[in-house]
Structure 1
Amino acid sequence: MNSRLIKELPELVANNVISHDVAAKIEDYYSTKQTETPNRLFAIFGVLGSLLVGLGIILILAHNWDHFNRMTKTILAFIPLLIGQVIVGFSILKEKSQAWKEASGTFLFFAVGSSIALVSQIYNIPGNLSTYILTWIAICLPVMYLLKSNMLAILHLVFSTYYAFEVGYGHFSIDETPWLYLLLIALALPHYLELLKHKASHNITSIFNWLYPLSFTIVLGAFVNDLSELGFLMYLLLFSLFYNIGKLPYFDDQKLRRNGYLIFGSLGIIILMLIMSFDDFWFVEQLLFNAQESYVSFVLAIANVMLLIWSYNRQWIKSFNLFQYVFIVFLIMYLFQLNLPTIGTLIVNVLIFVLGLTTVKIGVDKFHFGILNYGLCIVTALVICRFFDTNISFVVRGLLFVGVGVGFFLTNYIMLQKQKRNKEQLK
């Protein structure tokens, strides 16, 4: 398609459709895109090659490891590290392409990890897995900024998450909270903010838009020690924060598939509320407001409120969206320690139904069938949940399912017809 357009440029210039300057700019634009594509492919395959080479070296050494003496083992432990440093230095001094830097940085990252593990094994240095991962990440962090490497930033985020998982959920670290995880994430944030500032619509930025909320979702449970009841509130506040972040123009102006914050936040809120919609959930025990979970909940609540205030001041919020404010209702319910199953269940069910209708309206306003059907799925999920914990007859239950099915069909049909009419009017 691009080559065909470029071939037609002389004809367009000859017929005075476009000027020579515009034709030159179009040709430069597509030639730049064609040169960037191979570079991206080279970066991807370079990183994969570095991973395979590193794994191959480890396997070869592991197979013959017992036959070496201590000095030989020590030398072999440092050889991959030295090779990685030489390649990284070569990439920097010769100002090689970003693909070179990504590949060399990835090789050095795993070389550091293998060297630490081998030296610890050779000299019987005591330690546990979490300490090993933390040391590995800390050593490689400066290399990420030195090379401005996206792959190293991804590896930093993945291994930081694994470190927090090991500390918070590990069998040998019961009741430990991975506070250092927050520091590790904060140290990597400047790289992510730089991507958001200069490459907001790039695929690599979209990957981070998914990885960060996924990491926080996995790790937050490690901050729950004794009060599991507050764990639900913590996660609801976290998902609300994701949703409010996803509504910022930096993310909301992107395609939906690039906005991991909005999708994580919406799905998390709905899933948690569906769990809370059952009667048994609202037998809440006496809560202690001086516990760690209370402090974490307080910080998340303040973050939500401050983000909403900032959005209002910047006039980014144009209309009312219940998803952005639903956390306030649950804060009030937990603050007064509501222990009335009937009232709590009724409030949650009404909220879920309204959120479903809100999502349907958003889908209709944006002519987005995915959002529209997601809203209908929310209502359907609510009906299914009530199917199991209500005493209404099967006839009524069947009619509810029929009504929801008809609603699916009619809503999609009406919006499709409206979309066709709009297209015909544009013609």
Structure 2
Amino acid sequence: MSLLKDLPELEKAGVITSETAVKIEAYYKSQHGSSTNKLFVVFGILGAILVGLGIILIIAHNWDELSKITKTFFAFLPLLVGQFFCAFALFKKKESVAWRESTSAFLFFAFGSSISLVSQVYNIPGNLSSFLLTWMLLCLPLFYVMKSSITSLLYLIGITYYACETSYWNFPTSTSYAYWALLLLALPYYYHLLKNKTKSNFTSFHNWVVPLSVIIVLGTITDKFEELMFVAYISLFGLVYLVGESKFFASQLSFRNGYRILGSLGTIICLLILSFDDFWGHLRQKDFLFDELARSPELIVSVLIAIIAGVMFFFHFKERGIKQLKPIAPVFLFFIPLFILGIYTPYPIFLVNILIFLIAIQTIRVGAHHNHLGILNYGLLTIAILIVCRFFDSNLSYVLRGILFVIVGAGFFFANYWMLKKRKEHG
């Protein structure tokens, strides 16, 4: 660093004291060391994964020529090697994040390879779902013992894949209710990260992976009343957004706050889908038998998520008041009566379009008030997408459609020009 080289000259000239020079040098060294440590962790994890995959490929190349005993030995070899290095990292390199993360990542994949190889050698019956479930259960203690965040992320991805394989790709023959228990078992470690390593990159990744996993898997609840899942999803997106707007997450940078971004985008996407008449027309033709509906998992989940989101909204509203309320936050509350109305009348399609438009206008207003180009353009983009949606399912003339696009394009230009000019005047 050129500043470090200039420190003796600055100290000699009396610009800074010797104590200040020592503090500056220590600060820059700590920053450089932190960057180096992060790179060491990343490359350590990648190296461990590549070494593990390389061993598997070498064994696989000569697999058919090996005896059953030799195959069994090589099936357990990666597992034994992984456990040895994990024990070494745990007792000898306990303070080294790179050692703990890289050895844990290696052992995670070693578990998977050993299970699959032993099953193949001894012809143990099973399918991909049972394999993934066994693999994840065996790896569950690993990130608690090793305090390994990369293993926790791999575990979350693994149980999400398990749920998709079980309930989406094998529907309706099997269900993945075990996913929710597996997720709950991983949450204490996530809480530990939030409490003790708030600004860690691993924590930031968890802030995206945890809500995204729940969003993906929620659809596996679907049985006979799939229309109700829109209530469940919009309530879930409202809940996720409110979590992102809580005191703990709201103060963090956007890339660390996956809850707020996923909640907002999910709500808008759901509303845009519901701005077409296809869903509402199908909903009006659906026969909802009360006895079946009351016992349906879709209704139970929808009501449960809506109640939790409602409680979150109550405390959020009580804390911030109506003036600081973001336009996305109360959407799930408006949608529930809209859904009920849509069972009997065609009016909700019109009201949903109005709701999207009002959200976009309010978002533009918030962006202008806070001098935030990202929020401003998000609102403008929402209006533009809404117009595109109406372009394909309306009877408007091409001239009128063209005029609407020109107006939106001009709005983008003038809104950004005004914002940049305002920044320049106050900058």
Q: Could you tell me the TM-score, scaled by structure 1's length?
A: 0.92
In structure 1, distance between residues paired with 2:153 and 2:220: 21
- Contact persistence 1:241–1:303 (CA under 8 A): yes
* Distance in 1 (alpha carbons) for counterparts of 2:303 and 2:15: 61
The residue identity in structure 2 corresponding to 1:170 is: W
Is it true that 1:128 corresponds to 2:149 in the alignment?
no
Could you tell me whether the CA contact under 8 Å between 1:360 and 1:372 is conserved in 2? yes
Deviation at 1:165, TM superposition (A): 0.7
Q: 1:85 aligns with which of 79, 83, 87?
A: 83
Question: Which among 58, 62, 78 is matched to residue 60 of structure 1?
Answer: 58
For each residue in 1:355-412, what CA deviation from the matched residue of structure 2 results, as whole angstroms up to 9, or x when unmatched? 1112112221222212211110101111112222222333322222221111111111
- Equivalences for residues 403-414 of structure 1 within 5 A: 403-414=407-418
Query: Structure 1 residues 224 and 259, CA, compared in 2 at 3 Å: closer, same or farther?
Result: same
Deviation for aligned residue 1:26: 3.0
Aligned-partner SS, 2:175 = coil
Q: Is 1:320 aligned with 2:325? A: yes
Given that residues 243 and 261 in structure 1 are in contact (C-alpha distance below 8 angstroms), is that contact kept between their aligned partners in structure 2?
yes
Match in the other structure for 2:181 = 183
Aligned counterpart, 2:168: 169
Output the CA distance in 2 between the equivalents of 1:136 and 1:311. 40
Q: Are the aligned partners of 2:339 and 2:348 in contact in 1 as well (CA < 8 Å)?
A: no
Once the two structures are overlaid, the 10-residue window that deviates more, 58-67 or 348-357, is 58-67
Q: Quick check: 2:341–2:348 contact (8 Å CA) kept in 1?
A: no
Q: Distance in 2 between matches of 1:401 and 1:337?
A: 30
Q: Deviations over 1:31-88 (max 9, x none)?
A: 1121222222122111111111111111121122222222222122111111111111
Query: 1:317-368: per-residue Cα shift (whole Å, max 9, x none)?
Result: 8612221001011112234553322x11121011100111121122212222
Structure 1 segments unaligned to the other structure (5+ residues)? none
Once residues 245 and 54 of structure 2 are traced to their aligned partners in structure 1, the CA distance between those partners, rounded to angstroms, is 45
Q: Matched residue of 1:289: which SS? A: helix
Residues 16 and 319 of structure 1: CA distance in aligned 2, closer, same or farther (over 3 Å): farther
Among candidates 35, 38, 48, match of residue 36 of structure 2: 38
Query: Does residue 1:109 correspond to 2:108, yes or no?
Result: yes
Q: Is the 8 A contact 1:227 1:293 kept in 2?
A: yes
Alignment-derived partner of residue 399 in structure 1:
403
Q: Considering only aligned residues, what root-mean-square deviation do their CA atoms show, in Å?
A: 2.1
1:95 paired with 2:99, answer: no
Give the residue type in structure 1 aligned to 2:134: T
User: Counterpart in 2 of 1:306?
Assistant: 311
Q: How much does 1:25 deviate?
A: 3.0
Aligned to 1:215: 213
**Structure 1 pair 12–175 and aligned structure 2 pair: CA distance change class (3 A):** farther
- Contact kept? 1:311, 1:317, Cα under 8 Å: no
Q: Are the aligned partners of 2:167 and 2:176 in contact in 1 as well (CA < 8 Å)?
A: yes
Superposition deviation, residue 217 in structure 1: 2.1
- CA drift at 1:11: 5.3
Give 1:357's aligned residue: 361
Q: Does 1:345 align with 2:344?
A: no
Counterparts of 2:415 and 2:320, CA distance in 1: 32
CA 32–174 in structure 1, closer or farther in 2 if over 3 Å, else same: same
CA drift of 1:103 comes to 1.1
Aligned to 2:422: 418
SS in 2 for 1:225: coil
1:155 aligns with 2:154: yes
Aligned to 1:144: 143
Give matches, 1:236-247, under 5 Å.
Answer: 236-247=234-245
Q: Do the aligned partners of 1:175 and 1:225 also contact (CA within 8 Å) in 2?
A: no
Residue 62 of structure 2 aligns to a residue whose secondary structure is helix
User: How many residues matched?
Assistant: 419
Equivalent in 323, 334, 337 of residue 332 of structure 1: 337
CA distance in 1, matches of 2:11, 2:345: 75
Task: Note if contact 2:156-2:183 (Cα within 8 Å) is conserved in structure 1.
Answer: yes
The alpha-carbon deviation at position 183 of structure 1 amounts to 1.5
For the 8 Å contact 2:235–2:309, the answer to whether it is kept is yes
1:265 alignment partner AA? G
Alignment CA distance shift 1:297-1:15 (3 Å): farther
Q: Distance in 2 between matches of 1:163 and 1:403?
A: 47
Any conservation in 1 of the 2:317–2:325 contact (CA below 8 Å)? no
Whether 1:384 aligns to 2:383 is no
Preserved CA contact (<8 Å) 1:165 1:219: yes
Residues 367 and 419 in structure 1, CA contact (< 8 A), matched pair in contact too: yes
Does the 8 Å contact 2:93/2:99 carry over to 1? no
Q: Does the Cα contact within 8 Å between 1:46 and 1:99 map onto a contact in 2?
A: yes
Q: What is the rounded CA distance, in whole Å, between the counterparts of 2:254 and 2:317 in structure 1?
A: 22
3-state SS in 1 of match to 2:294: coil
1:220-244 deviations in Å (ceiling 9; x for gaps): 1111122121122222112112211
Residue 328 of structure 2 aligns to a residue in which SS?
A: helix
Aligned residue number for residue 70 of structure 2: 72
Letter aligned with residue 6 of structure 1: L
Report deviation, 1:193. Answer: 1.8
Distance 1:190 1:50 in 2: 26
**CA spacing shift, 1:315–1:408, aligned 2, 3 Å:** closer
Long gaps (5+) in structure 2: none
> Counterpart of 2:99 in structure 1: which amino acid?
W
Output the CA distance in 1 between the equivalents of 2:3 and 2:192.
34
In the TM superposition, what whole-angstrom CA distance separates every residue of 1:70-109 from its partner, at most 9, and x where no partner exists? 2222122111111111111111111351101111111111
Change (3 A) 1:249 1:175: farther
How many angstroms apart in 2 are the aligned matches of 1:289 and 1:331?
17
